[in-house]
Amino acid sequence: MRYVWAILSIVAVCAALYFVAGTFADDETRQVLALRQYNTRIVVVGTTLLGAAAGLIGTFMYLRKRAMIGDALSHATLPGIAIAFLIVGDKQIGALLIGAAVSGVVGVVAVIGLRNVPRIKEDAAIGIVLSVFFGLGLVFVRIAQHAHTGNQAGLDRFIYGTTAGMIKQDAQWIAITAAIVLASVVLMFKEFRLVCFDQHFAVAQGRSVHVIDLLMMAMVVLTTVVGLQAVGLILVVAMLIIPAASARFWTDDLPLMTILAGAFGSISGFSGAIVSARFVNLPAGAVIVLAAGVVFSTSMILAPRRGIAGAIVRRARLARRIGYQNVLRALCEREEDSGEGVRASKAELLRMRSWSARRLNSLLRRAIRRGDAAMGPDGLIGLSRQGRIEARRVLRNHRLWEIYLIRHADVAPSHVDRDADLVEHILPPELIRELELALTETPEIPPSPHGREAFS
């Protein structure tokens, strides 16, 4: 049920974006967006469905850490296409795609075989297969073009992709593929998840990892082969990886991630096709991949929990909080040494920790602004009553951590200060209570266990 809502809200957002784009676009773009032209309609339907299929199955390739095998696969299709062309003699698309699938699978088998050779790691195996098969393909393409002089073989379109040339039949093939991929992902979801997470456990459960992997790979081959003409074999792997990698930023839930990856793939396919229909000179395959890149960058920066922007903000907030608590602690330790109400000069505080004068000044200004500290006309700084309560709490937590680390984590006492400084601010209240119970009977401030130098 949750996922039905997720799908509906994704559709709603896309629809809203579509109408907003329609409102602000110029006349020509609006024409394209309205899908008036038959040809545009075919292309848009084809690329959108292709994006969805690639996003769905790409999620599992990505999590299985097999995404780059898709690249070896797509490059390895070229010799098959050229050989099929040499045999069949004419541009019979069905035969060419079967040739593509066969030699693509041979490429994948070669990667798996090479991987088992000692001293050849998977990345090397992929690099070798990808380039050798592609080279072989280029040779055969040239031979094919010479064998049929006068007849434009047009095999280049498999390398770079000619989305604009998509015909109804191609779109139908893509639609069938998308339906098969969707069905297999829905039905095999449990098995795919198990194998991607922990293949040894899957074996121990009596599931055949080979069968599951084979099915997953078959879906990738299917998607890649029908996607060849649209995006081209160089870029088709992008459709497998990028939507999945983008979706990972938004959620920790696998079903939701799969749905999002499918959606991101469709959005990329749709917008890529629209842009290339509007600006006729742009290669559609490349534009689709670029659209996916935009989705990825946006996700990477803006995603609420895993995104970079959020992380930067959180880190800055944490640093500020730690700094602020350090100021309170310094003032409190000063009082501890010389009696309550004793105030400190900036120079004294500066010597207590390794902070710059500028940072100390800004932290002190904040403390004064918040009413936790006050500066007298003599320039000395002291804690207010409310500040003292907060400062004692902070100091106590810090000391609790020091004791905890010394007793339980075998940390050298000289390292304690730095570790505790970081961790103390992340400490949840339950753990503080636990430490209180375990380590100290009295709720007062326990003395610093590693002998803080008395301030003089």
Partner 1 sequence: MDKSKSTLAAPGGKPSAVPKSPDPHHDPRAPVSIHDMTVAYHRKPVLWDIDYAASEGRLVGIVGPNGAGKSTLIKACLDLVPKASGSVHIYGKPYKKQRKIVGYVPQRESIDWDFPASAIDVVTMGLYGRIPWCLPPRKKHRELALHALEQVGMADLARRQISKLSGGQQQRVFLARALVQDAAIYFMDEPFAGVDAATEAAIVALLNELKARGKTVLVVHHDLQTVREYFDDVLLLNMRIVACGPTKEVFTHENLQKTYGGKLTLLVEAAEAIARSGQGGP
Binding residues vs partner 1 (CB under 8 A):
63, 65, 118, 187-191, 193-194, 196-198, 200-207, 248, 251-254, 257, 408
Q: Between residues 194 and 282, which has the closer beta carbon with respect to partner 1?
A: 194
Q: Between residues 130 and 195, which has the closer beta carbon with respect to partner 1?
A: 195
* DSSP label of 163: G
Q: Is 411 exposed, middle or buried (0-12, 13-18, 19+ CB in 10 A)?
A: middle
Helix runs in 118-188, H state only: 122-147, 156-160, 168-187
* DSSP label of 279: S
CB of 203 to partner 1, least distance (A): 6
156 neighbors 140 (Cβ within 8 angstroms): no
Q: Between residues 27 and 430, which has the closer beta carbon with respect to partner 1?
A: 430
277 neighbors 47 (Cβ within 8 angstroms): no
Helix runs in 27-167, H state only: 27-33, 38-63, 67-88, 93-115, 122-147, 156-160
Q: Is 230 exposed, middle or buried (0-12, 13-18, 19+ CB in 10 A)?
A: buried
CB of 206 to partner 1, least distance (A): 4
Task: Name beta bridge partners: 375.
Answer: 381
Q: Write the DSSP assignment of 382-400 as a string of letters.
A: EE-HHHHHHHHHHHHHHHH
CB of 192 to partner 1, least distance (A): 11
CB of 21 to partner 1, least distance (A): 31
296 neighbors 245 (Cβ within 8 angstroms): yes
Q: Between residues 58 and 80, which has the closer beta carbon with respect to partner 1?
A: 58
Q: Between residues 181 and 257, which has the closer beta carbon with respect to partner 1?
A: 257
How would you classify residue 152: left for phi > 0, otherwise alpha for psi between -120 and 50, otherwise beta?
Answer: beta
The token pair that represents 1 in the structure block: 């049920």
CB of 346 to partner 1, least distance (A): 40
**Chain mean position to CA 59:** 11
Report which residue type is found at 237: V
CB of 22 to partner 1, least distance (A): 34
The token pair that represents 15 in the structure block: 């629809």
Q: Between residues 207 and 346, which has the closer beta carbon with respect to partner 1?
A: 207
CB of 32 to partner 1, least distance (A): 36
Q: Between residues 19 and 201, which has the closer beta carbon with respect to partner 1?
A: 201
Q: Between residues 282 and 300, which has the closer beta carbon with respect to partner 1?
A: 300
d(CA 344, CA 359): 17
Q: Between residues 328 and 400, which has the closer beta carbon with respect to partner 1?
A: 400
**Element at 381 (helix H, strand E):** strand 381-383
Q: Measured between alpha carbons, how far is residue 264 from residues 47, 61, 196, 243, 403 in Å?
A: 12, 16, 21, 5, 50
Helix, strand or coil for residue 375? strand
90 neighbors 274 (Cβ within 8 angstroms): no
CB of 404 to partner 1, least distance (A): 12
Q: Between residues 123 and 434, which has the closer beta carbon with respect to partner 1?
A: 434
Using alpha carbons, select from 442, 337, 346, 351 the residue that is nearest to residue 396: 442
CB of 314 to partner 1, least distance (A): 14
Q: Between residues 200 and 385, which has the closer beta carbon with respect to partner 1?
A: 200
Angle between the N-to-C axes of helices 209-231 and 189-197, in degrees from 0 to 180, rounded to the nearest 10? 100
Q: Between residues 118 and 377, which has the closer beta carbon with respect to partner 1?
A: 118
Per-residue buried b or exposed e for 12-40, using 16+ beta carbons within 10 Å of the residue's own CB: eeeeeeeeeeeeeeeeebeebbebeeeeb
CB of 416 to partner 1, least distance (A): 18
The token pair that represents 147 in the structure block: 């064998």
CB of 306 to partner 1, least distance (A): 10
CB of 183 to partner 1, least distance (A): 10
